A and B are shown apart, each in its own frame.
Chain A
Amino acid sequence: MRKLVRVNMTDTTVRVEELPEKYRFMGGRWLTSTLVADEVPATAHPLGPNNRLVFAPGIVTGTAAPSSGRISVGAKSPLTGGIKEANAGTPVAQSLARMGIAAIVIEGQPEENDEFFVLKLNKDGGELERAEDLAGLGLYEFAARVQERFGNTGFIATGPAGEKRMAMAGVCCNDTEFRPSRYAGRGGLGAVMGAKGLKAILVDDTGAPGVCIANEDLFRVGLRKLSDALREHPITRPGGTLNTLGTAALINVLNEAGGLPTRNFSSGRFEGASRIAGETIAETARQRGGKTGHSCHPGCIIRCSNIWARQDGSEHVSCLEYESVWALGANCGIDDLDTIAELIWICNDSGLDTIEAGVTLAVAMEAGLAAFGDGQAAIRLLRECALGTPLGRILGNGAAFTGRAFGLTRVPTVKGQGMPAYEPRAVKGIGVTYLTSPMGADHTAGYTVAPEILSVGGKADPLLPHGKADISTNLQVATAFLDSTGYCLFIAFAILDIPAGFEGMVETCNGVLGTAWSGEDATAIGTQILRTERSFNEAAGFTRAHDRPPEFMRYETLPPHNQVYDVPDEEIDRVAAVLTESR
């Protein structure tokens, strides 16, 4: 029996129930989005007592399936005002799954605003305790105290920014060495956690029974196929691109393609790109004694993460991945990796989403609060968030809020969420995903960059405005399913190109659940998830007018290709049309 843990923050009770039949086959995003849609009124205030925060490991999480230690976090987002799912790879996801916990639902709110609790979970159940001195700390100090007091205990926590309910706050989980570094970053879910008065969930998995696998043989067959695909594909295999260079290998690619957003989305090329690229990160890590090929949780074949070392060889931060390095680097005109590493450290410590932080800092630079490229000024500005100064509270609420505070029009957001590291004017399909995903601007929701730039899963010209709705829709559907399995999105490179890998992925799910899903069933499930999310958003007041680019992208041309965003509204709306059609 899989369990549902209900935590009521109003009366501080914890109940462990059997997972209702309706949710039996669900995991990850499927489960968080369905629970949020079922239990949260669409018009609820994201920071009020009627929002609910849901945590759910994926379907195969906690098993021997490779690269599958993901946890989804869902709620109504204070950043977008719509439904949100963000996920992270972390050992704590595996612990929860092995304890038989399918989901944790946090409801209600303490009466006093500044009351914080920790939820302690073990194999026998859970209880809420006052957070005492664990609240108010930066997350590195928090992690150190947790380890000192409870030993190697997994955690899911919110940082000072989340305690202060800032819409840029993410939910932080530990990595394999208990660093506070693995984030379900996007959409301000850390602020929802803060508003619930929940500082952290501490997970002791001693004596956990493990994940129940309905059909071991099928599971093994699928696991083998998927592992083979991951070991074969040049992007995912050991010694392949992600393993040796990390995701920041993309910096040079996007820069070459003219799609690396630079200085607040005013150019698609950054002259300092090679200084912050994956190649440079790997080489410097080697020289200084950092690490590449690090894994966010045990059992990953790909191992894309890294540990950055200071000049003297001491550990600085994990990890320098593409989105963070772009956001706090190229997008702010900063080309020094040590400065970028420090900005990432501040995000990890304060509990901030690195993408939203970088997009916001660049908007602040546009507003004249610092010069583009001034790393020390960026560090000073970013520190304001955790301090909760008036300026810190403006920045801490994200790019859209900051842009409004300073009267700017060049504010690269969709549904209030900052755009990630691909310029829609140079990569038109990813723009369709940004505009139409129920999550707001989110590259992971339907990664058309694969066919448009990387020649994975087919080929498409990134600059052509036509045909992008279908590519985006198919990928959004596939991703919604993948986000429910517990697998890391990066297995997509292998399963897009190697059909047996895709089959293996579905078979491992069938093996765990005892289902007989086909590839078409996976597509149907993905479609159903997106429909659930879209209808929540509709009830929250979203219309097709919200599936539109920030207007400046329609009239400001972007060098070097000097293009505007010219995907017609009718093409964009085809995504919504497909997803609202009855099947």
Chain B
Amino acid sequence: MPTVRVRLYATVRKYAPPGCHEGTFSVELPEGSKLEDLYRRLGIPEREVKQSFVNGRRAEPDQVLREGDEVGVFPPIAGGTEARPCGQP
């Protein structure tokens, strides 16, 4: 059962367990759990998450989490709908 270190930022911080410092805490997950499983476990609706980082690298919801991973979860601080680059509407 891998244990991951989670940091929740800005508006998703409200989903952190009570009493944790600055939205940072550890979670033990079943083997093979993905980022999206972590969101579910914490009760974070996926539409409130815009971008997560695992060990400092951008990660998609289907990424499998491993022992010791550091996960940072952000709301749209960052982001909205999928889109095209400016100048090519």
Chain B residues near A502 (CB-CB < 8 A): 86-87, 89
- Alpha-carbon gap, A257 to B79, bound state (A): 16
> Out of A241, A474, A560, which one reaches B87, CB within 8 Å?
A474
Closest Cβ–Cβ distance, residue B16 to chain A (whole Å): 13
Closest Cβ–Cβ distance, residue B28 to chain A (whole Å): 22
Chain B residues near A471 (CB-CB < 8 A): 85
Kindly identify, within residues 33 to 89 of chain B, every residue whose CB is under 8 Å from any CB belonging to chain A: 50-51, 53, 55-58, 72, 74-89
> Out of B13, B79, B83, B84, which one reaches A235, CB within 8 Å?
B79
**Which partner residue on chain A sits nearest B50 by CB separation?**
A455
> Out of B77, B82, B84, B85, which one reaches A253, CB within 8 Å?
B77
Chain B residues near A234 (CB-CB < 8 A): 50, 75-76, 79-80
Q: Are B87 and A526 in contact, CB atoms less than 8 angstroms apart? A: yes
- Alpha-carbon gap, A269 to B82, bound state (A): 29
- Alpha-carbon gap, A458 to B88, bound state (A): 12
Q: Are B78 and A256 in contact, CB atoms less than 8 angstroms apart? A: no
Q: Could you pull out 30 A-B pairs where Cβ atoms are within 8 angstroms?
A: A232-B80, A249-B10, A250-B77, A253-B74, A256-B74, A268-B56, A269-B56, A279-B10, A453-B51, A453-B58, A454-B50, A455-B50, A455-B58, A456-B80, A457-B83, A457-B84, A457-B85, A458-B82, A458-B84, A461-B58, A462-B58, A474-B86, A475-B85, A493-B80, A494-B80, A495-B86, A496-B83, A497-B79, A497-B81, A503-B89
Q: Are A519 and B84 in contact, CB atoms less than 8 angstroms apart? A: no
B22 adjacent to chain A (CB < 8 Å): yes
**Which partner residue on chain A sits nearest B57 by CB separation?**
A463
> Out of B22, B56, B78, B85, which one reaches A274, CB within 8 Å?
B22
Q: Are A245 and B10 in contact, CB atoms less than 8 angstroms apart? A: yes
Q: Are B80 and A233 in contact, CB atoms less than 8 angstroms apart? A: yes
> Out of B13, B56, B76, B89, which one reaches A561, CB within 8 Å?
B56
A119 adjacent to chain B (CB < 8 Å): no
Using CB atoms and an 8 Å cutoff, list the residues of chain B in contact with chain A.
7, 9-10, 13, 22, 50-51, 53, 55-58, 72, 74-89
Closest Cβ–Cβ distance, residue A486 to chain B (whole Å): 16
Kindly identify, within residues 447 to 471 of chain A, every residue whose CB is under 8 Å from any CB belonging to chain B: 451, 453-459, 461-463, 471
> Out of A235, A256, A561, which one reaches B7, CB within 8 Å?
A256
| Given A235-B78, A497-B81: A457 touches B53 (CB 8 Å cut-off) | no
Q: Are B87 and A478 in contact, CB atoms less than 8 angstroms apart? A: yes
Chain B residues near A474 (CB-CB < 8 A): 85-88
Q: Are B85 and A458 in contact, CB atoms less than 8 angstroms apart? A: yes
Q: Are B56 and A456 in contact, CB atoms less than 8 angstroms apart? A: no
- Nearest 8 pairs between A and B by C-beta? A256-B72, A234-B76, A258-B56, A478-B86, A454-B78, A497-B83, A499-B89, A497-B80
Q: Are A257 and B80 in contact, CB atoms less than 8 angstroms apart? A: no
> Out of A268, A426, A482, A496, which one reaches B85, CB within 8 Å?
A496
- Alpha-carbon gap, A234 to B47, bound state (A): 12
Q: Are B85 and A478 in contact, CB atoms less than 8 angstroms apart? A: yes
Known: A475-B86, A526-B87. 17 other contacts (CB 8 A): A234-B76, A234-B79, A235-B77, A235-B79, A241-B10, A253-B51, A256-B9, A274-B22, A279-B13, A453-B78, A454-B51, A461-B58, A462-B58, A493-B80, A499-B84, A499-B89, A520-B87
- How many residues of A are counted as interface, with CB atoms below 8 angstroms from the partner's CB atoms? 54
| Given A249-B10, A474-B85: A256 touches B53 (CB 8 Å cut-off) | yes
Q: Are B9 and A253 in contact, CB atoms less than 8 angstroms apart? A: yes
Chain B residues near A461 (CB-CB < 8 A): 58
- Alpha-carbon gap, A503 to B89, bound state (A): 7
- Alpha-carbon gap, A233 to B83, bound state (A): 12
Listed residue (B53, B76, B78, B86) with the most chain A CB atoms within 10 angstroms of its CB: B86
- Alpha-carbon gap, A496 to B80, bound state (A): 10
| Given A234-B75, A234-B76: A252 touches B10 (CB 8 Å cut-off) | yes
Chain A residues near B9 (CB-CB < 8 A): 252-253, 256, 279
Q: Are B56 and A519 in contact, CB atoms less than 8 angstroms apart? A: no
Q: Are A456 and B58 in contact, CB atoms less than 8 angstroms apart? A: no
Chain A residues near B76 (CB-CB < 8 A): 234-235, 241
Q: Are A498 and B86 in contact, CB atoms less than 8 angstroms apart? A: no
Closest Cβ–Cβ distance, residue B54 to chain A (whole Å): 10
Kindly identify, within residues 474 to 511 of chain A, every residue whose CB is under 8 Å from any CB belonging to chain B: 474-475, 477-478, 481-482, 492-499, 502-503
Chain B residues near A456 (CB-CB < 8 A): 78-80, 83
A146 adjacent to chain B (CB < 8 Å): no
